[in-house]
């Protein structure tokens, strides 16, 4: 009877452990969970979506992920926005351009380019990044799905890393007579969580945000170099993802590994229990 009790107790304890891990496990495939896709656009407390675009990397307008930014410009303008993307995120950038209503002279090619915080061009996994539009088309839609943002990559790799991503929208090929016509552009970066399957070890000390000098480095006497020109732009604080940059230490691999440990313990107990049979045979006298 005693062994039975200990085994039951052990099973209960293990079950309790598993139960605590349970809800976390249930969360485990999170790509569509609400918290993973910040949608500040719908949140009344969040700042309003920008209605202007920058004209260069330096003047790019900051847009939060999920926000729909709009801008009025002229055909031929180079419109820049910047979106903060954090590790473990899959981002799809969509742009829509309302083309001028006046008669145009020829077809044009519109293109949406994505650059990372180091101004390196980022490839799209899929999505029409450039589209040729006929002279009578009313609008054009472009999209680009980036690779999953990793928390660490080798310096020789071009992998997407946490930081600011620049979007550049422009007409790369058009009839010169069509320059300067009014257009209306909308861009939006939809973000979803890629899950722990893409988690890698290592982390950057600071996200790839231009002019970002971590606080401790700024205090450090050895970097007097944080001059006015290098100081973070006034919008720097706004250019963070919802809830700030993640440390890169959390992934659902912790849950899977812990759950594996619990299962192993249970398996161990079960195996041990199998070898013990059904307790002491009844015909053996208690004193033997």
Partner 1 sequence: MIIRKRLAAGVCGLLATLAVGLLPTPAAAGEPDTKPAPKVELVLDVSGSMRARDLDGQSRMAAAKTAFNEVLDAVPGEVQLGIRTLGANYPGQDRKVGCKDTKLLYPVGPLDRTEAKTAVATLTSTGWTPIGPSLLAAADDLKGGEATRRIVLITDGEDTCQPLDPCEVARDIAAKGIHLTVDTLGLLPDDKTRKQLSCIAEATGGTYTSVQHTGQLRDRVHQLVDRAADPVVTPVATQGAQECSTAPELKPGLYNDREKFAEHRWYRVGVRPGQELRASVSIGADRAVDNDYGVLLRAVSAHGREIVRGSEAGDGRTDAVSTGLRYPMPDADTPDGGGEPPAETVCLQVSNSFSAPASVKRDPGLPVELAIDLVDAPHDAADPASFGLGRGWWLLITLALAGLVGGLVWGWISRWRISVWRTN
* Residues 9-48 contacting partner 1, CB under 8 A: none
Distance CA 101, CA 287 (A): 102
- Classify 249 as helix, strand or coil: coil
Indicate the pairing of strand 79-85 with strand 124-126.
unpaired
Cα–Cα dist 149/168, whole Å: 19
Report how far residue 238's alpha carbon sits from residue 61's, in angstroms, rounded to the nearest whole number: 11
Binding residue for partner 1, selected from 149, 212, 241, 245, defined by CB under 8 A: 212
Tell me which of 23, 106, 197, 279 binds partner 1, using CB under 8 A: 197
The nearer residue to partner 1, 25 or 190, going by C-beta atoms, is: 25
- Indicate left, alpha or beta for 7 from its phi (over 0: left) and psi (-120 to 50: alpha): alpha
Rg of the chain in Å (alpha carbons): 28
Beta bridge partners of 83: 165
Task: Give me the least distance between CB of 53 and partner 1, in Å please.
Answer: 10
Angle at 88 between CA 263 and CA 148, to 5 degrees: 120
d(CA 38, CA 194): 14
Is residue 270 close enough to count as binding partner 1 by CB under 8 A? yes
**Closer of 39 and 57 to partner 1 (Cβ):** 57
Angle at 123 between CA 117 and CA 126, to 5 degrees: 130
What is the closest distance, in whole angstroms, from the C-beta atom of residue 18 to partner 1 in the complex?
A: 11
How many residues touch partner 1 under the rule CB under 8 A: the total is 97
Q: Among residues 8 and 231, whose Cβ is nearest to partner 1?
A: 231
* Residues 169, 110 contacting (CB under 8 angstroms): yes
Nearer to partner 1, 42 or 221 (CB): 221
Q: How far is the CB of 13 from partner 1 (least distance, A)?
A: 14
Instruction: Output the six-digit token pair for 34.
Output: 């609400």
Place of tokens 């790799």: 157
Would you count residue 156 as binding partner 1 (CB under 8 A)? yes
Restricting to residues 68-97, which ones interact with partner 1 according to CB under 8 A?
72-74, 76-78
Q: Which residues pair with 131 in a beta bridge?
A: 110
Candidate list 206, 240, 242, 246; residue touching partner 1; CB under 8 A: 206
Least separation in angstroms between CB 145 and partner 1: 20
Give the footprint of partner 1 on residues 216-235 (CB under 8 A).
Answer: 216-218, 222-235
Pick from 31, 138, 260, 279: which binds partner 1 (CB under 8 A)? Answer: 260
When the beta carbons of 39 and 152 are compared against partner 1, the nearer one is 152
State the Cα–Cα distance between residues 51 and 46, nearest whole angstrom. 15
- Using CB under 8 A, which residues numbered 51 to 70 contact partner 1? 52, 54-59
Q: Applying CB under 8 A, does 107 fall inside the site for partner 1?
A: no
**Which tokens in the block code for residue 153?**
């990559």
Please identify, among the stretches 16-24, 30-38, 40-48, 251-259, the one whose residues bind partner 1 according to the rule CB under 8 A.
Answer: 251-259
- Kindly identify the residues of this chain, within the stretch 158-177, that bind partner 1 according to CB under 8 A: 170-174, 176-177
């Amino acid at each position: 009877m005693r062994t039975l009790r200990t085994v039951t107790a052990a099973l209960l304890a293990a079950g309790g452990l598993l139960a605590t891990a349970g809800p976390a496990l249930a969360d485990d495939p999170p790509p569509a969970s609400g918290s993973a896709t910040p949608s500040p656009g719908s949140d009344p407390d969040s700042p309003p979506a920008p209605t202007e675009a920058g004209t260069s990397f330096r003047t790019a307008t900051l847009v939060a992920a999920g926000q729909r930014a709009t801008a009025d410009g002229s055909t031929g303008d180079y419109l820049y926005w910047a979106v903060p993307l954090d590790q473990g995120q899959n981002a799809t950038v969509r742009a829509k351009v309302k083309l001028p209503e006046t008669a145009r002279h020829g077809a044009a090619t519109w293109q949406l380019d994505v650059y990372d915080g180091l101004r390196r061009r980022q490839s799209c996994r899929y999505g029409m990044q450039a589209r040729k539009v006929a002279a009578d088309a009313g609008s054009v839609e472009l999209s680009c799905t980036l690779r999953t943002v990793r928390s660490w990559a080798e310096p020789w790799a071009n992998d997407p890393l946490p930081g600011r991503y620049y979007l550049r929208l422009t007409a790369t090929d058009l009839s010169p007579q069509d320059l300067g016509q009014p257009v209306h552009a909308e861009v939006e970066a939809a973000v979803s969580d890629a899950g722990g399957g893409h988690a890698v070890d290592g982390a950057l000390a600071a996200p790839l945000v231009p002019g970002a000098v971590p606080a401790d480095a700024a205090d450090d006497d050895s970097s007097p170099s944080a001059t006015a020109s290098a100081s973070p732009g006034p919008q720097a604080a706004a250019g963070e993802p919802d809830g700030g940059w993640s440390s890169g230490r959390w992934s659902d691999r912790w849950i899977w590994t812990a759950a594996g440990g619990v299962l192993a313990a249970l398996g161990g107990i079960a195996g041990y229990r199998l070898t013990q049979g059904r307790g002491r045979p009844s015909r053996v006298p208690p004193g033997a």
